[in-house]
């Protein structure tokens, strides 16, 4: 029998000492207490890393006392380390000895982390499972894919207002440029400039919405038009703010950054990926070329000088263009073949409010919807924005971060859409903090701002205002607070994925149900009619 004290067996006294050291973060020795430190850091992470609410550390003190009392209620065997205790290292003096003290690979104590083959197995099962569903869909409904975009556009005369509205967006930046020139020359006051900007941006935001609401063009093209309107609206807000900051600080410092527009290829002497050294200052940037570059650049935050790449990489551009075209057709095909039948089959359960059938429809819609959302993310944030950036030699390509590893909802919203996150931080969040708003109030206002535009992009093309998208975004505030404060790590990442996978199908079914109720549309027996109606 091995000596308990020497080889890591817990006694009552050693257990009590562990509990005290657990929340005081005392360095453990090489005996049995060393095994408790990882447990303390895993279970009581906040106890070690949470900042106290005041200088006395009362928060940390009471929190640790609470953890210690709760921990003392657990039986002693739960405090024991999971790692294997070895009597003495064996020396293989004999080649015929085949046994040694070794943990199984799936045990935590083994330290084994190479699950590459299992990951491949999961991917194969995922592909085979979805392939079976896709074949089942084709057998049941036939081929529903129609990729003739020109036919959709020209067959419906009310699509033309979308084209006219998109082309008319050039008027609003021109008004903004004229206003900035007048402000730079002191022809008008800042207050007058604010009034002109307010009128310009209000007309920009609501005139296209009114036209689309009255004429009710095809939903897809209306959504594209309002997306361009929203982008133009946010860009002009940033343009006005930056030029105002330049006027305010013109006497103290001359804002000089890397050149944002113009310049010939001979201006750049660095290799590919380098940036030009020519700078421009305020009032020099108030020209059509600079504003046109900014309005086309894949960013929502204006600067006098943007980072520029040395040249256009033709092979990189060709790859992204092929991805753009292929993934766009793939998304449309998946929506027509997979999403529309699933949503159409949910009309009867939604009309009769059958809970279990609605839940079954929701789960059946979740996977293809999430797959399309992932394809859209790659198509827009990687392929499309890189194409635009490459053509304009725009060097800042950080359009997204590793949002898939986010442990909280807040981390997801900070990482998945970097252009919007930068705009919200620079022009909404930080200005509110400077006005003595709390971080929670500033974050709530940012989510309100985002919720408005989510509802704007959905309700106007559908000609109904049910606020599902608005409240869905607004519910991210308590979700972000709870996950940020209480849930992190693996479970936080799981909650983030479940929010994405299940939240979007709920919104789709809610809008789908209300759309047919508001417009008094009958249950169409022909699935093809549903495809045309839904688009």
Q: Which residues are catalytic?
A: 454
Collect all residues with Cβ–Cβ distance below 8 Å to 168 and sequence separation of at least 6: none
Rounded CA-CA distance 53/44 in Å is: 17
The DSSP call for residue 249 is T
Asked if 352 contacts 292 with a C-beta cutoff of 8 angstroms, the reply is: no
Q: In 10 A of CB 339, how many CB atoms?
A: 20
The DSSP call for residue 301 is S
Collect all residues with Cβ–Cβ distance below 8 Å to 346 and sequence separation of at least 6: 358, 361, 365, 509, 512
| 3-state SS string for 39-101 | HHHHHCHHHHHCCCCCCCCHHHHHHHHHHHHHHHCCCHHHHCCCCCCCCCCCCCCCCCCCCCC
Residue 335 in tokens: 């929506």
The number of residues in the chain equals 535
The DSSP H or E segment spanning 409 is helix 409-415
Please count the CA atoms within 13 angstroms of the CA of 268 that sit on its side-chain side: 22
Residue 274, Cα to own-chain centre: how many angstroms? Answer: 29
Q: Tell me which residue of 365, 497, 473 sits closest to 424, measured CA to CA.
A: 473
The sign of the dihedral angle between the CA atoms of 187, 189, 195, 200 is positive
> β-pairing, 279-280 with 257-258?
antiparallel
Strand ranges, E, within 457-518: none
């Amino acid at each position: 029998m091995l000596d308990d004290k020497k080889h890591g067996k817990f006694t009552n006294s050693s257990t009590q000492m562990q509990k005290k050291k657990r929340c005081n973060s005392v360095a453990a020795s090489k005996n049995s207490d060393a095994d408790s430190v990882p447990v303390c850091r895993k279970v009581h992470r906040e106890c070690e890393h949470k900042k106290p609410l005041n200088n006395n550390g009362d928060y940390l003190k009471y929190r640790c006392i609470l953890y210690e009392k709760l921990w003392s209620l657990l039986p002693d065997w739960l405090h024991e380390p999971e790692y294997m205790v070895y009597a003495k290292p064996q020396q293989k003096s004999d080649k015929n000895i085949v046994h040694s003290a070794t943990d199984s690979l799936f045990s935590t104590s083994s330290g084994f982390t190479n699950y590459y083959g299992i990951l491949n197995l999961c991917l194969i099962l995922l592909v085979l499972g979805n392939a079976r569903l896709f074949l089942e869909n084709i057998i049941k409904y036939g081929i529903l894919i129609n990729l003739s975009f020109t036919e959709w556009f020209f067959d419906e005369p009310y699509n033309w207002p979308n084209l006219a509205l998109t082309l008319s967006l050039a008027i609003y930046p021109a008004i903004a440029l004229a206003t900035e020139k007048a402000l730079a020359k002191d022809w008008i006051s800042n207050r007058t400039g604010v009034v002109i900007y307010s009128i310009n941006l209000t007309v920009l935001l609501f005139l296209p919405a009114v036209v689309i609401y009255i004429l009710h063009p095809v939903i897809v093209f209306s959504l594209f038009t309002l997306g361009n309107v929203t982008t133009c609206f946010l860009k002009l807000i940033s343009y006005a703010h930056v030029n105002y900051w330049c006027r305010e600080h013109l006497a103290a410092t001359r804002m000089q950054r890397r050149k944002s527009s113009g310049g010939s290829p001979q201006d750049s002497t660095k290799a590919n990926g380098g940036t030009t050294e020519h700078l421009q200052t305020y009032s020099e940037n108030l020209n059509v070329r600079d504003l046109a570059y900014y309005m086309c650049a894949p960013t929502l935050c204006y600067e006098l000088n943007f980072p520029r790449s040395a040249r256009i990489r033709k092979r990189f551009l060709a790859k992204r263009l092929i991805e753009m075209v292929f993934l766009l057709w793939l998304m449309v095909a998946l929506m027509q073949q997979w999403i529309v039948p699933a949503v159409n089959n949910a009309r009867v359960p939604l009309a009769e409010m059958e809970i279990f059938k609605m839940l079954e429809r929701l789960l059946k819609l979740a996977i293809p919807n999430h797959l399309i959302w992932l394809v859209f993310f790659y198509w827009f944030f990687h392929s499309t924005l890189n194409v635009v950036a490459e053509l304009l030699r725009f060097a800042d390509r950080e359009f997204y971060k590793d949002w898939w590893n986010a442990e909280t909802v807040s981390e997801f919203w900070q990482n998945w859409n970097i252009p919007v996150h930068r705009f919200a931080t620079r022009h909404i969040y930080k200005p509110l903090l400077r006005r003595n708003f709390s971080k929670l109030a500033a974050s709530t206002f940012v989510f309100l701002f985002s919720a408005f535009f989510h509802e704007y992009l959905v309700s106007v093309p559908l000609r109904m205002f049910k606020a599902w998208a608005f409240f869905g975004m607004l519910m991210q505030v308590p979700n972000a607070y709870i996950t940020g404060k209480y849930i992190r790590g693996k479970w936080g990442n799981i909650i983030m994925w479940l929010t994405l996978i299940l939240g979007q199908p709920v919104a789709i079914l809610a809008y789908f149900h209300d759309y047919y109720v508001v417009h008094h549309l009958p249950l169409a027996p022909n699935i093809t009619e549903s495809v045309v109606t839904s688009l």
